[in-house]
Amino acid sequence: MFRNIGGHAYGWVYPGPIGAVLSPRLQGMDKYGELAYATTLCAACTSTCPVKIPIHDMLYALRNDKVELENKGELAEDIAYKGWSATFATANRYRFSVRMARRFQFPLVKQGKIAYGPPPISEWLKYRDMPALPDKFFHEMWPEVNKD
């Protein structure tokens, strides 16, 4: 049937890995974006492709595009990641933030674990344990241990 009348009778003409790449681009990410996740990205499709189309790279790019589309408008998450990035950008900022976090964690700690926090952390803490910050981190102890 497919050979005689073509793929249009089936709604779409591009099956397989190349279809997973083309369908979202031609028919829309909202309708076919999940096809990018129908593979393990093992690159077998690329190695068997007679013209060596980098299909696995294209599928990876589609996954990135889908994530970006889905995360548009997540202001709180954007602010959190930018804050995290700024905090960990330099060693001095990191050390300062650790000192501040260590100093201000005490009202939140119960039995060596952080037990309280603002939403959404409070919801996360209902099901997971988060240890309190230690008195000293490894990078703070290392100079004392490695005096030689």
Rounded Cα distance, 132 and 114, in Å? 5
Domain presence at residue 123 = yes
Indicate the angle between helix axes 91-104 and 75-87, nearest 10 degrees: 110
The pLDDT mean for the chain works out to 85
Rounded Cα distance, 34 and 24, in Å? 8
Same domain, 12 and 54: yes
Return the pLDDT at 87: 92
Domain presence at residue 122 = yes
Return the pLDDT at 3: 54
Closest CA to 47 of 34, 61, 57: 57
Same domain, 10 and 63: yes
Return the pLDDT at 2: 47
Q: Between the CA of residue 114 and those of 81, 95, 103, 140, 144, what are the distances in Å?
A: 21, 20, 13, 22, 28
Positions of the chain with pLDDT under 70: 1-12, 73
pTM over 0.75: no
Quote the tokens at residue 62: 């589609």
Return the pLDDT at 8: 56
Task: For residue 114, give its domain range.
Answer: 90-145
